[in-house]
């Protein structure tokens, strides 16, 4: 039996999450949120370490001797060969063996933001170097993918052929087809997200000047007018790249990626050209979702303390960032995100945990900014204090760790009754000798269908998670529940580091 596309949930119309200013008028009924009794406490440090380890299990290419995932080996060693280029490295996004540019870049951008916003905590937890290594695993790959002007390699691996073979990447016989964007095939989302990833990473690696400069030079002004090469490319060849659809379709368009990339370029360079773009040209909308597809709230939070006005000058980014919070929190007049009876944000089935970790991340990052500027969130006339954001962020992370109606963990290898059947090719296939010829036709009945735990522990993988009724099925065949994704984990690292080091109230020490 061929499994359903592993991207089911990722394709639901993100546009549905778009909020219009008119949402302010909706008459809301508070969902029943089950109060979590005594404040649960978990070994957050352990969860943090494991969450980073999952990213190591997703690495493609030649693994370093420091690789901690013993059942993983070198893979995708000929990636790029079809065009005589070296595209080894990078990450597999989820349970399959394709390297998709858009989610890969978003994973790296969010890791870089994490490394900066939670630097102190990661250092105190002894994990900063591991996060830096995780970023570099992505940026080394981007430097290979972005060698030529007006050109970017955006994907390795034919997803349809890949999905017809349940095989670990070390032994995959499936075609490593290459996909690119160029002056004839636009792809503003991927170009801008890749520019954002390289720019944010250049800030992380500032102490390594040559490397940082290489990243920024790729992502920024090689052009006379001071606009990033990739960014210029994204702007002048505007258009959506459909090549990753139906696996990763950009439902939200590219305006959010352009704003997001310009924001990172502005933060890295402080150049007026990006400020002008942000203030006068960029389109910014209030939305209730932060994800690989939709970055508005991320940019708005980053811009909230800079007092820039968005196009038309009608709204500051602070009020748009506030709108995100108001749409999520169940106790504001403007809430619109559905919350399960057990208290988990539920936008849609399939990798729903990405919204849980992304919201927790933004809430902690934003509350730190709110404390710096000494302002609350304003939901209409109702002021929401930063402490409330932190409390909600903790509740979301705790839910995934075990404070949920099922009293179980949704993180592999962590806590009570953790998942055993992640929808993941490498973890569910035994270690095979190099060169072992896998029969794709037999692979599903051998390794996918049997109802037994995976032979390899996918340590730290956060599952796609429960459905809207807090129900979860620990079955490999149920990809919406059991498939992990790099960007679910990348966004969990900051909140976990904060919980591990700051303590349960999550308030940053000076």
Taking CB under 6 A as the criterion, the residue among 149, 471, 503, 505 binding ligand NAG is: 471
Q: Which residue stretch of 36-44, 144-152, 359-367, 466-474 sits at the interface with ligand NAG (rule: CB under 6 A)?
A: 466-474
Q: Which stretch binds ligand NAG (CB under 6 A): 62-70, 84-92, 126-134, 478-486?
A: 478-486
Based on the shown chain and the rule CB under 6 A, indicate whether residue 439 belongs to the binding site for ligand NAG. no
Q: Is 407 in the site for ligand NAG (CB under 6 A)?
A: no
Q: Does 5 bind ligand NAG (CB under 6 A)?
A: no
Greatest Cα-to-Cα distance within the chain, rounded to the nearest angstrom: 65
Would you call 276 helix, strand, or coil by DSSP? helix
Contact stretch for ligand NAG (CB under 6 A) within 21-29, 126-134, 293-301, 470-478: 470-478
Task: Closer to ligand NAG by CB, 86 or 349: give it.
Answer: 349
Please spell the DSSP secondary structure of 58-106, one letter per residue.
TB-BSPPTT---TT---B-TTTTGGGT------B--SSSS-EEHHHHHH
Q: Give whichever of 236 and 307 is closer to ligand NAG, judged by the CB atom.
A: 307
> Does 175 participate in binding ligand NAG (rule CB under 6 A)?
no
For residues 466 and 406, the answer to whether their CB atoms sit within 8 Å is yes
Q: Does 503 bind ligand NAG (CB under 6 A)?
A: no
- The answer to whether the CB of 286 falls within 8 A of the CB of 250 is no
Cα 291 from Cα 348, distance rounded (Å): 12
Grouping H, G, I as helix, E, B as strand and the rest as coil, residue 434 is: coil
Question: Is the previous residue joined to 194 through a cis bond, with omega within 30 degrees of 0?
Answer: no
Instruction: Rank residues 272 and 307 by Cβ distance to ligand NAG and give the closer one.
Output: 307
CA distances from 384 to 41, 206, 287, 297, 366 (A): 25, 36, 18, 17, 12
Size of residue set near ligand NAG by CB under 6 A: 11
Q: What SS3 state is found at 404?
A: coil
Q: Is 313 in the site for ligand NAG (CB under 6 A)?
A: no
Min dist. Cβ of residue 208 to ligand NAG (A): 30
**Look-up of token digits 């940026």:** 139
**Residue 473 sits in the site that holds ligand NAG (CB under 6 A):** yes
398 binds ligand NAG (CB under 6 A): no
185 token code pair: 């095939």
120 vs 475, which CB is nearer to ligand NAG? 475
Q: What is the CA radius of gyration of the chain?
A: 21
CA separation for the pair 254, 232 (Å, rounded): 14
- Asked whether position 307 contacts ligand NAG by CB under 6 A, the answer is yes
Q: Establish if 93 lies at the interface with ligand NAG (CB under 6 A).
A: no
Distance in Å, CB of 191 to ligand NAG, minimum: 30
Distance CA 167, CA 122 (A): 35
Calpha distance 390→387 (Å, rounded) = 5
Among 305, 336, 385, 387, binds ligand NAG (CB under 6 A): 305
Q: Does 483 bind ligand NAG (CB under 6 A)?
A: no
H helix or E strand, kind and range, residue 128 = helix 128-145
CA 167 from centroid of its chain's CA atoms? 24
In the region spanning residues 233 to 262, those forming contacts with ligand NAG, defined by CB under 6 A, are: none
Binding segment toward ligand NAG, per CB under 6 A, in 75-83, 124-132, 360-368, 471-479: 471-479
Give yes or no for residue 365 binding ligand NAG (CB under 6 A): no
Give the residue carrying structure tokens 């030079």: 217
Q: How far is the CB of 9 from ligand NAG (least distance, A)?
A: 10
Are the C-beta atoms of 90 and 138 separated by less than 8 Å?
yes
Contact between 480 and ligand NAG by CB under 6 A: the answer reads yes
Residue 231: closest CA among 182, 192, 268, 201: 192
Q: Is 134 helix (H, G, I), strand (E, B) or coil?
A: helix
Q: Is 472 in the site for ligand NAG (CB under 6 A)?
A: yes
481 lines the binding site for ligand NAG (CB under 6 A) = yes
* C-alpha to C-alpha distance for 285 and 488, rounded to whole angstroms: 23
Q: Any contact of residue 429 with ligand NAG (CB under 6 A)?
A: no
Position 467 contacts ligand NAG (CB under 6 A): yes
- Binding flag, residue 322, ligand NAG (CB under 6 A): no
State yes or no: is 423 an active-site residue.
yes
Residue 445 within binding range of ligand NAG, rule CB under 6 A? no
The conformational region for residue 503 under phi > 0 = left, psi -120 to 50 = alpha, else beta, is: left
Write the interaction track for ligand NAG spanning residues 274-293; mark x where CB under 6 A is met and - where it is not: --------------------
Judged by the rule CB under 6 A, the positions of this chain that interact with ligand NAG are 305, 307, 467-469, 471-473, 478, 480-481
């Amino acid at each position: 039996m061929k499994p359903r596309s592993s991207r089911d949930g990722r394709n639901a119309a993100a546009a549905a999450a778009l909020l219009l200013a008119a949402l302010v008028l909706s008459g809301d009924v508070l969902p029943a949120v089950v109060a979590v009794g005594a404040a649960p406490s978990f070994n957050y440090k352990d969860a943090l370490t494991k969450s980073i380890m999952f990213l190591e299990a997703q690495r493609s290419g030649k693994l370093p001797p420091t690789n901690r995932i013993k059942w993983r080996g070198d893979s995708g060693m000929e990636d790029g060969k079809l065009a005589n280029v070296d595209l080894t490295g990078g990450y597999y996004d989820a349970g399959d063996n394709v390297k998709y540019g858009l989610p890969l870049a978003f994973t790296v951008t969010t890791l870089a933001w994490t490394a900066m916003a939670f630097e102190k905590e990661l250092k105190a937890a002894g994990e900063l170097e591991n996060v830096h290594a995780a970023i570099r695993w992505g940026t080394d790959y981007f430097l290979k993918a972005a060698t030529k002007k007006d050109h970017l390699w955006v994907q390795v691996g034919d997803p349809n052929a890949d999905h017809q073979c349940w095989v670990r990447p070390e032994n995959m016989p499936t075609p490593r087809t290459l996909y690119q964007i160029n002056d004839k095939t636009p792809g503003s989302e991927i170009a801008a997200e890749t520019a954002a990833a390289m720019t944010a990473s250049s800030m992380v690696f500032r102490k390594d000047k040559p490397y940082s400069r290489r990243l920024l030079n790729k992502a920024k002004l090689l052009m006379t007018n001071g606009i990033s090469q990739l960014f210029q490319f994204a702007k002048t060849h505007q258009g959506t790249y459909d090549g990753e659809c139906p696996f990763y379709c950009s439902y939200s368009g590219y305006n959010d990626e352009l704003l997001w990339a310009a924001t990172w370029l502005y933060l890295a360079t402080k150049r007026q050209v990006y400020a002008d773009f942000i203030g006068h040209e960029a389109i910014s909308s209030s939305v209730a979702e932060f994800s690989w597809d939709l970055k508005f709230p991320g940019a708005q939070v980053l811009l909230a303390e800079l007092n820039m006005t968005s196009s038309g000058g009608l709204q500051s980014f602070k009020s748009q960032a506030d709108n995100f919070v108001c749409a999520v929190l169940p106790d504001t007049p403007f809430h619109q995100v559905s919350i399960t009876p057990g208290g988990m944000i539920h936008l849609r089935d399939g990798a729903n945990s990405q919204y849980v970790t992304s919201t927790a991340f933004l809430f902690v990052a934003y509350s730190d900014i709110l404390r710096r500027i000494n302002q609350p969130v304003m939901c209409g006339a109702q002021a929401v204090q930063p402490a409330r954001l932190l409390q909600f962020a903790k509740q979301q992370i705790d839910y995934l760790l075990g404070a949920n109606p099922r009293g179980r963990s949704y993180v592999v290898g962590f806590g009570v009754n953790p998942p055993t059947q992640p929808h993941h090719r490498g973890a569910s296939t035994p270690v095979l000798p190099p060169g072992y010829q896998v029969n794709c036709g037999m692979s599903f009945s051998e390794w996918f269908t049997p109802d037994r735990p995976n032979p390899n522990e996918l340590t730290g993988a956060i599952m796609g998670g429960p459905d809207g009724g807090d129900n979860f099925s620990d079955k490999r065949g149920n990809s919406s529940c059991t498939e992990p994704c790099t960007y679910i984990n990348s966004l969990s690292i900051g909140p976990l580091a904060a919980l591990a080091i700051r303590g349960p109230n999550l308030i940053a020490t000076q």
